[in-house]
Amino acid sequence: MTDITIPTQPEALSRRQPAVVPQPAARPRVVIVGAGFGGLRAARALRKAPVDVVLLDRHNYHLFQPLLYQVATAGLEPEQIARPVRAILRGQTNFAFRMVEVTGVDFAAREVATDNGPVPYDYLVLALGGETNYFGLEGIMRSGFGLKGVSDALAIRNHVLGCFERAVLEPDGERRRALLTFVVVGGGPTGVEMAGALSELIRLVLVKDYPRLNIKDVRVLLLEATDRLLAPMPERLREAAAETLWRKHVEVRFGAAVEDCDGARVRLKGGEVIPAHTLIWAAGAKAVALTAKLGLPTARQGRVAVTPTLQVPDHPEVYVIGDAAYLEAGGEPLPMMAPVALQMAQAAARNISRRLRGEPPLAFQYRDPGSLATIGRNAAVAYIHGIGVKGFVAWVTWLIVHIIQLIGFRNKLFVLINWAWDYFFYERAARLITKE
Ligand SMILES: Cc1cc2nc3c(=O)[nH]c(=O)nc-3n(C[C@H](O)[C@H](O)[C@H](O)COP(=O)(O)OP(=O)(O)OC[C@H]3O[C@@H](n4cnc5c(N)ncnc54)[C@H](O)[C@@H]3O)c2cc1C
């Protein structure tokens, strides 16, 4: 009898085969810090790249900051201008999200430090954004209101509505007028939009809620340290914005630099004191404090100075984009605005893909889509590709642009319904005082 042994594998092959089946080579990991305009766009732009994308943020949502002032003035609820990151990027297979606080970066070890341990990276995109710049004015930091996140907007809403409730109960005329005096500081788009919306909330809506209060006791002031509003716009539009604000009962004052406030009084440089319980600070922005602690070269506003390809000098695997990045175009720093963050995100994602293919990175080129500012009902100014528009046409343009940019069909729909309701019925739905 012949013993026939049938080998399960040819000998030569079995000798070559290791005991453990090899895993496919791990793909490079791109860690993105910040799920704002820049970070979210970068994650999306890498959806087809041969990488794993890990997005880190301290919040589980993406916030549409340009409409925050409407939350502060009771026009919209926070969930109408924010959306969970996991829902936005649910369909992206190379994507993971972690809700963590980023506390630093170890560039040598290629690890992001977080409150939940280190996160290693092959490529890093820092899209940390900005924060309110109080220029070291401690009284304003303590007693004024900034407008950067959802909690700021709700704090303003609660405080303004609370001032009206307290004013109704206040027998002393002077104290009542101080409760009903609202000071907005900063004549940029946020200050202009905030002052216009606040005045309309009071004159069109709250006046009906508080019939026993004398509307003549109410003041909304917009204080600007220079001699102009909306500085980058042409003179004709700047003047139109100021005129419209006056028509909407906002007292616009130029050359008025605020120095201090204590929750009952606002003090200007030069000594003038305005009795006012509310100061909303829209006079400055800077990169988040973390950028200064990373050990990277920073420039104006604490922003990280990046190369034209958006990389960090000496760390070509690290990109900084959006408000946190400092880059000049035509001798001027790129503004801390959403289109800059979005376009930089696209460029950084493209440069990462190019590096993976062994191609050199391309320099970032900013295309300015123009600027818009609304001044309440039926009024706005727009400056797009050298063409200036004001009034109703600019206002409709503003509405369309903002609805298109909002993320999520549900948010678009609810915001549209809200705006239509407020427009036709002179209402503001979100007038609850949820905390004082
Ligand atoms: C009130 C307001 C109104 C504005 N209006 C306009 C406008 O009308 N038009 C316009 O173009 N621009 C406007 N801007 C500016 C615009 O919102 C910013 O330029 C844009 O958001 C910058 O995008 P970004 O990705 O750099 O940062 P952001 O969008 O600010 O995102 C940064 C993200 O990083 C996260 N983050 C920060 N630090 C940490 C940390 N340590 N750990 C974890 N996560 C962290 C934050 O939670 C945030 O999600 C406005 C800004 C504000 C505040």
Residue 22 has a pLDDT of: 59
> pLDDT, tens digit, for every residue of 386-409?
999 999 999 999 999 999 999 888
Which pLDDT value is given to residue 409? 85
Q: What is the DSSP string of 357-379?
A: TTPPP---------EEEE-STT-
Residue 3 has pLDDT above 50, yes or no: no
Q: Which atom of ligand 1 is nearest to the CA of 149?
A: 53
Q: How far is the CA of 37 from the centre of ligand 1 (A)?
A: 7
Tens digit of each residue's pLDDT (9 = 90 or more) over 82-126: 999 999 999 999 999 999 999 999 999 999 999 999 999 999 999
| pLDDT average, residue stretch 182-205 | 97
193 counts as catalytic:
yes
Question: Is 90 exceeded by the pLDDT of residue 13?
Answer: no
Please check whether residue 191 is in contact with residue 184, taking contact to mean a CB–CB distance below 8 angstroms. yes
pLDDT in tens, 145-181: 999 999 999 999 999 999 999 999 999 999 999 999 9
pLDDT grade for 20, boundaries at 50, 70 and 90: low
User: What single string gives the DSSP state of each residue in 110-123?
Assistant: TEEEEBTB-EE-SE
**Within 10 Å of residue 149's Cβ, how many Cβ atoms?**
17
Which bin fits 337, alpha (ψ -120 to 50), beta or left (φ > 0)? beta
Distance 240 CA to ligand 1 centre (A): 28
- Where residue 162 falls (left for φ over 0; alpha for ψ -120 to 50; beta otherwise) is alpha
* Residue showing tokens 């609370």: 162
Question: What pTM, to 2 d.p., does this model score?
Answer: 0.93
In this prediction, residues 32-41 reach a mean pLDDT of 98
Is the predicted pLDDT of residue 383 greater than 60, yes or no?
yes
Of all protein residues, the one whose alpha carbon is nearest to atom 3 of ligand 1 is 66
The pair of structure tokens assigned to 186 is: 């900063």
Structure confidence at residue 23 as a pLDDT band (50, 70, 90): low
Pocket test for ligand 1, best of 157, 185, 280, 323 (most atoms within 8 A of CB): 323
Give the pocket of ligand 1 (CB within 6 Å): 34-39, 56-59, 65-66, 68-69, 101-102, 127-130, 147-148, 189-190, 288, 290, 322-324, 336-339, 341
Backbone angles phi, psi at 328, to 5 degrees: -100, 150
CA distance 18 to 422: 70
Q: What is the pLDDT of residue 430?
A: 86
Q: Report which residue type is found at 319.
A: Y
What are the percentages of helix, strand and coil residues in the chain, rounded to 5?
35, 25, 40
Tell me how far the alpha carbon of residue 77 lies from the centroid of ligand 1, in angstroms. Answer: 18
Overall average pLDDT of the 312-327 stretch: 97
Instruction: Write down the mean pLDDT value for the chain.
Output: 93
pLDDT of 350-375, one tens digit each?
999 999 999 999 999 999 999 999 99
